[in-house]
Amino acid sequence: MTVDLPFGTVPPVLLFLLGGLLIAVTPNAFLRRLILVVVPVYGLVQLFALPMGSSLEFDFFGETLTLLRVDKTSIIFATIFHLAAVLAAVYGWANLDRMQQSVALLYPGSAIGAVFAGDLITLFVFWEMAAVTSVFLILAGSTVRASKAAIRYLVIQVGSGVLLLFGAILYFQETGSIAFEKMELGSIATIAIFLAFGIKSAFPLLHNWLQDSYPESTITGTLILSIFTTKMAVYALFRGFPGEQLLIWIGAVMTCFPVFFAVIENDLRRVLCYSLNNQVGFMVVGIGIGTPLALNGTASYVFCNIIFEGLLFMSMGAVLLRTGTVKGSELGGLYKTMPLTTFYCIIGAASISAFPLFAGFVSKGMIIDGLAKEHMLIPWLMLVFAAAGVFHHSGIKIPYFAFFAHDSGRRVKDAPLSMQIAMALSAILCVAIGTFPDPLYALLPYPVDYVPYTAPHVLHQLQLLLFSALAFTLLTISGIYPPELRSTNLDFDWFYRKPGAALVRGVVTGIAAINGAMTNFVGRRIEGALRSLYALHGPEGRLARTWPSGFMAMWIAILLTLALLVNYL
């Protein structure tokens, strides 16, 4: 074992895993809450005590497993994961479910372990730990829908891990190394690893596990789920495939198609899940560009997105807690009795829409500008369209239909104090980062040569937002904008839920029929053979009869004659 850490420094992942296990065996509710907050706070302190380049390595059957690799890339992802764990702990202070509290540390700890992994085997271990621990947050929904969604989620997430392990084994055979470094897409090994990362990133056609499972969890569970899995996958792409041109087109499609589903979706938490898919698309594009500017944009956008998208999930969780629903068709007018939640939601909406002075503005622009500098017009236009779409479905639709669209007549209390504290902290971070981005830029992997507040950038963004708002207003007034209706929207998962399931049932039925026919055929043949043997050798069979002595003597003489002839010849 090789340890290159300052004395007294504890790897953050170890703190989270031990804290999660300690919560699981602690009966006192207040102590569990305290552990839930103290562990990520202390972990953050330990994180910044780790010198750049420090590591923790083990020898495993002649190969080196790197459980801790400290550099600027791992530090910025780990930092936001710690902050998010703190905010989630404060937000879920009133949640006394011991299982959820334990998973609220084990799951982020697994994601942090993946961020610090320096080899593919260690990455695989934490990859699967994140899948197994997170599924309990979905099961905590305690409904039939949640149970079914959890099973589908687990199958897909574990399948991603199997692909990763398969690719890692082939990669070792090809290169003789299991180091988790930049890879070139072009062999079966790297394609398998790429697909494993793509499943967790919710690539197009591989994305429905996200919208299927996250809204079925609890209020706090949905918030936690929205933070770690996809961002862990973004980190893996960031580390493994920077500059892979295919990611530009995949990410561009990811940014665009969720816009259409989000516009017609009635469940506002599901709208945010489509928004999450859209936001990850921007990050994937930045990784595909691969320049320092674009990669800095990706890292900073991951950091900011976790905060402001989490803030939107928090506000919708508060609405769900107080009203029992997040259906846009059943809400409206809540600004009258939930003014603080309304205010925080608007802060989150402004941030995700990239208004100047908010977090999204100082990070998303680096990705779009990085694409423009590469002179890729079509992907650039797709991202501009997607940026306008984000303002439509997350910047306008979420706060408008939840709090303003019409008066639903609901008069409920504002969010509990713990939820308000978490939302207030998130809102402060959104404004602080958007106004003073330099501390965030100092954490980025590459030196930052980017000034967000230039006249062209500000004017371009304001034009985009104002015209998007105008389009929303005109579409709403004219009645063209899709109304919030009780409905079920069909996505790509329909193909495996309906015809796919029918195909599987048909194949199973066909295999069962073939198996039955073969069993009957073989059974009849065996039964016939047994009858023949019985007829020949049974008590009344031919060979069981008593033969005359003279007859037997004749056959012996014939056999001896044949033997003499064979010997003579």
How many CB atoms are located within 10 Å of the residue 312 CB?
30
pLDDT of residue 133 exceeding 90, the answer is yes
Minimum mean pLDDT among 187-191, 221-225, 338-342, 558-562: which range?
A: 558-562
Contact 77, 449 (CB under 8 A): no
User: Closest by alpha carbon to 46, among 9, 96, 83, 88?
Assistant: 9
| The pLDDT of residue 74 | 94
Q: What are phi and psi of 561, to 5 degrees?
A: -60, -45
User: Closest by alpha carbon to 273, among 211, 199, 318?
Assistant: 211
User: Closest by alpha carbon to 74, among 108, 115, 109?
Assistant: 115
| The pLDDT of residue 220 | 94
| The pLDDT of residue 205 | 86
Write out pLDDT tens, residues 157-209. 999 999 999 999 999 999 988 999 999 988 999 999 999 999 999 999 888 88
How many angstroms separate the Cα of 54 from the Cα of each of 5, 72, 266? 6, 11, 49
Residue 354 is classified by DSSP as: T
pLDDT of residue 533 exceeding 80, the answer is no
How many angstroms separate the Cα of 338 from the Cα of each of 341, 348, 393, 414, 440? 6, 16, 21, 4, 32
How far is it, in rounded angstroms, from Cα 455 to Cα 41? Answer: 39
pTM equals 0.86
The total number of residues written for the chain in this structure: 569
Contact 252, 383 (CB under 8 A): yes
pLDDT of residue 457 exceeding 90, the answer is no
pLDDT of residue 83 exceeding 90, the answer is yes
Q: Which residue has the higher pLDDT, 509 or 100?
A: 100
How far is it, in rounded angstroms, from Cα 332 to Cα 329? Answer: 8
Q: Which residue has the higher pLDDT, 552 or 350?
A: 350
pLDDT band with cut points at 50, 70 and 90 for residue 5: low
| The pLDDT of residue 551 | 64
| The pLDDT of residue 1 | 52
**Residue 50: strand pairing partners:** none
Query: What is the DSSP code string of 472-541?
Result: HHHHHHHT-SPP--S-----THHHHHTHHHHHHHHHHHHHHHHHHHHHHHHHHHHHHHHHHHHHHHSTTS
pLDDT band with cut points at 50, 70 and 90 for residue 542: low
Give me the mean pLDDT over the 490-512 stretch: 70
Contact 193, 163 (CB under 8 A): yes
How far is it, in rounded angstroms, from Cα 284 to Cα 295? Answer: 10
pLDDT band with cut points at 50, 70 and 90 for residue 495: low
Cα distance between the two ends of the chain: 80
Minimum mean pLDDT among 106-110, 234-238, 424-428, 465-469: which range?
A: 465-469
